[in-house]
Amino acid sequence: MPVLSALHGASSTVLSNLFVKLPTPTAIPGLPQQIIIVTGSNTGLGLETSRHLLRLGLGKLIMAVRNLDKGHEAKKELLASTGRDEASVEVWHLDMDRYNSVTQFAALASQLPRLDGVLANAGIMTTQFSVSEGHEKTLTVNVISTLLLCLLLMPKMRESRKQTGWPCRFVIPNSALHYLAPLGELDDGPDHPIIARLDDQDKADMGGRYPLSKLLVLYAVRELADRAKASGKGLFILNSPNPSYCVSNLARETQGSVGVKTAEKLIARTTEEGSRTLYHGLFAGEESNGQYLTNCHVQDPACHVTNQWGQRVQKKFFEELLATLEQIQPGISANV
């Protein structure tokens, strides 16, 4: 990783958390008619974003969760805290670690009367190498399944916009840790496939895998937004907000350490504060399309996203990702 980029990422996080007050979410016109999906919505940032949505009058929340029992418990808690009625929330099963679960969920969501937003919040952070669906698990959950869900829902998102006039937002949370991603894993030579390299346990840098997954998400978001816009098939908005370092259960492997507990007390945002950035992403304007967001506004990402090297890697990675998605769901690239 470039040293200056890493220093910028770390310093901007500290300064943001200590000195930036995020805007409190407010209702938007038409919210009572909208339907929004939040994945990983039974805990952490997903739960708090869901609470904002319900509190402010969202018509229908689809809680997409891996564990239905936990999802229904979270639904009860949300309804009790917001005073909403039972019909305002539905709990659906979605396991981002299983491609067939993603495709089944997308097929069901495509039958909704409208789709106004998707917060693809579900993700993992681990330093342990394991394989799921033929790929390293972080790559499967944080990148491949997330973009699989996006491409599967693109026809519905475009259809909904034509019907309602409201461009659907597809929001994938990001992190300033993308500034610290290990770039050595992204050899951009023509004979060095990126995904195959990341799936090699002997070469995998798992200490940097979560930051790298967020960098790959940025590449995918930027490339997909450009290609979807150029296709002329219809508008939807794809963005990637950074909630910054905040209290959550994402880093379960290190939560009990003294260092993590101390850092949380000193500089971490509360989960509710972090969720404000995700709420903003769900209603951000067209200027956010294909963009990285910080503190509820568009911000340039790391230089290894925007420079010539980053542009080469972005296109190469997206082509590999699209080929991977074609293997999972033949014909899906036509949705772009």
- Of 213, 209, 246, 222, nearest in space to 49 by CA: 246
Report the distance separating Cα 326 and Cα 322, nearest Å: 6
Report the distance separating Cα 34 and Cα 75, nearest Å: 18
Q: Which residues are catalytic?
A: 210, 214
CA angle 97, 36, 221 (to 5 degrees): 60
Amino acid at 134: G
Q: Over the range 82-115, which residues count as b (16 or more CB within 10 Å of their CB) and which as e?
A: bebeeebbbbbebbbebbebbbebbeebeebebb
Q: What are phi and psi of 146, to 5 degrees?
A: -65, -45
Cα torsion 103, 104, 110, 115: sign: negative
> Encoding tokens for residue 74?
């979270």
Element (H, E) at 103: helix 99-109
Residue 299: CB atoms within 10 A of its CB come to 13
Question: Three-state SS for 8?
Answer: helix
